[in-house]
Amino acid sequence: MPEIISVAEARREETVGREVIVRGWVRTRRDSKAGLSFIEINDGSCFGNVQVIAESSLPNYESEIKRLSPGSCVSVAGLVKSSPGKGQATEIQAAEILVYGFADAEKYPLQKKGHSFEFLRTIAHLRPRTNTFGAVARVRNRACHSIHQFFQEQGFLYVHTPIITASDCEGAGAMFQVTALDQSGKEESEKGVKSVKSGGNDLSKDFFGRPAFLTVSGQLEAETFACALGKTYTFGPTFRAENSNTPRHLAEFWMVEPEAAFFDLWDDMELAEGLLKRLFGDVLQYCPEDIQFFNQRIDKTVVETLEHIVASEFLRVSYTDAIEILRKSGRRFEFPTRWGNDLQAEHERFLTETHFRQPVILYDYPREIKPFYMRLNDDGRTVRAMDVLVPKVGEIIGGSQREERLDLLERQMKEQGLDPQSYWWYLDLRRFGTVPHSGFGLGLERAIQFITGMANIRDVIPFPRTPGNAEF
Ligand code: ATP
Ligand code: MN
C-alpha cells in the first residue's frame, strides 16, 4: 500500500521515487492537447500545490477527472517524480484518482481567483481555501505554538482564567453581559431551563445571582496565580463590546497575558521585547513560503521589517519625552498633544513610523489615563505603565507594574469610582504577602497583522466578530 503523505512532503525532492497517496482540494485543472491533464492540489500543509499528471488512460478520465474543477476534493495515488516544470521540484504521476466531491463550477464562489478581502469576509466558511487565508492560518498557528514555547521554556505556568466574570475588569472597554434570562419574555427558555422574565431585570434571579460578563482581560485572575506560583501566563479569547469599527479592533480577540511575581517594569519590557522577537523570528524561520507570499502580494516591507526588528533593540522612551517629541515635530495632529492626554493612533504611528522608525516602548504614563491597578511612581503623577508600539499597527502590547501597596491601590480605586469591596479578593493579594509584580497583554491579532502586513484585523482571525457581524 502506498503511504498517505501531505502535499508538503510530496513537494520535497527527497520524496521522488516513492509510491504515495495525497489527498486535498483541486486548485486548478489544465488539459493538454496530448490527452492528459495537469491538476494542482492543495491540502493546507504548505503554501504550494502539488502537480498531478493524469493520463487519459485512467479509467475515470472522461467520466470524472475531466469534470474536476477548483474546490473538488480528491485522493490521488501515484509515483512521485522530479518535475521538469518551473517552481516545483516534484510532480505525481497518477495511477488512480478517487473523487470525494465535485464542486459545481457554476456555483462555487471561489471558481475565479482575485476576490477582494471584503467579499471573502462574506464567505468566511470558504475563505480558508484561498492562498491568503491558508497562509494567515499557518502563520497564526505558528505564532501560537511559539508563544507557548517561549513561556514554557522560561518556566511560565499556563493558567486558564475564566471567560465569564463578575468583575468589571479595569473598565478596559464596554463588556458583553451574560445572562440566562429569557430575553423574549417567555417563561421557559428553549433548553428547558426555568428562566425568569428579564423585563424587571431582577439579576438576583439570573444564573449567577448577579450581573456577569464576558471577560475583557484575564489579568486580575492571572494575578492571583502569579502571587502564588510566580511566573504565569494566560492566553485566551477576550471580548469588548466597544463600537469601534476600525481595522485594528475586534469584538472578540485573543490575548496573551503574562503575569509574573518579582518582575518590575523593566523586566516586563524585556519580556515583551523577547516575546515579539521570538514570534517574528520563528515565523520567518518556520513559515518562509507564507511570509514570502505576504511580502510579494500584501506588503513589500514585511520581511525587511521583521528581520530588522529581530535584530534591533526596542527603544524605551517615557511618555513625557514622547509628548515633547510630538509637540516639537511641527506636525498637525487631529487630536491635541497635551501632557495628560492619551496618545491616539496617529501619535503612536508618527512616533514609530516617522520619528523612530522602529518599535518603541513608551512608559510612565499619567495616572489619570491608566487603570487603577498600575503602580504609582514617586512623582505622584505617573504610573508604571508601558505600551509597545510598532509601525503600522501602533499599540501591540499594553502592560504595567501592578500596584502592590494596599493603601495606594484602594485610594486609586476610589478615585476612579470603583468600590474596593467588590474587589475584595484582588485586594487580599496585597493584604497577604504582597509582592511586586508585572504583566502585559499582547493582542494576538495585532501581532498577526503586523507579521503578515494584512491591513484589516478581520482578515487575520478565522471568524471575525465586529459590530453587526457574527454569522459564521
Ligand atoms: P487600543 O487603544 O488600541 O484600543 P487598548 O488600550 O484598549 O488598545 P489594552 O486594554 O491595553 O488595549 O489591551 C491589550 C492589547 O490587546 C492591546 O495592546 C492590543 O494589542 C489588544 N487589543 C485591545 N483591544 C483590542 C480589540 N478591540 N481588538 C483586537 N485587539 C485588541
Ligand atoms: Mn481599546
Q: H-helix or E-strand containing 383?
A: strand 382-390
Q: Where are the alpha helices (DSSP H) in 173-287?
A: 219-229, 265-286
> What does 314-375 look like in DSSP terms, one character per residue?
PEEEEHHHHHHHHHHT----SS---TTSPPPHHHHHIIIIIIS-S-EEEEEEEGGGS-TTBP
pTM: 0.93
Closest atom of ligand 1 to CA, residue 244: 27
Pocket test for ligand 1, best of 402, 446, 460 (most atoms within 8 A of CB): 446
3-state secondary structure (DSSP) of residue 233: strand
Q: How far is the CA of 3 from the centre of ligand 1 (A)?
A: 46
Query: How confident is the model over 108-146, as pLDDT tens digits?
Result: 999 988 899 999 999 999 999 999 999 999 999 999 999
Compute the average pLDDT of residues 62-85: 96
**For 3-101, which CATH superfamily applies?**
Nucleic acid-binding proteins (2.40.50.140)
Compute the average pLDDT of residues 284-309: 96
Given a cut of 80, whether residue 323 has pLDDT beyond it is yes
Nine-digit cell string for 278: 521570538
Asked whether 393 lines ligand 1 (CB < 6 A), one says no
**For 131-184+198-459, which CATH superfamily applies?**
Bira Bifunctional Protein; Domain 2 (3.30.930.10)
Domain ranges in the chain? 3-101, 131-184+198-459
Q: Which residues contact 298 (CB under 8 A, 6 or more apart)?
A: 132, 452, 453, 454
Q: Are 47 and 131 in contact (CB under 8 A)?
A: yes
- Taking the C-alpha atoms of residue 70 and residue 88, their distance in angstroms, rounded to an integer, is 20
Q: Which ligand is nearest to the CA of 239?
A: 1
pLDDT band with cut points at 50, 70 and 90 for residue 197: very low
Q: Where are the alpha helices (DSSP H) in 358-432?
A: 406-415, 424-431
Query: How confident is the model over 349-369, as pLDDT tens digits?
Result: 999 999 999 999 999 999 999
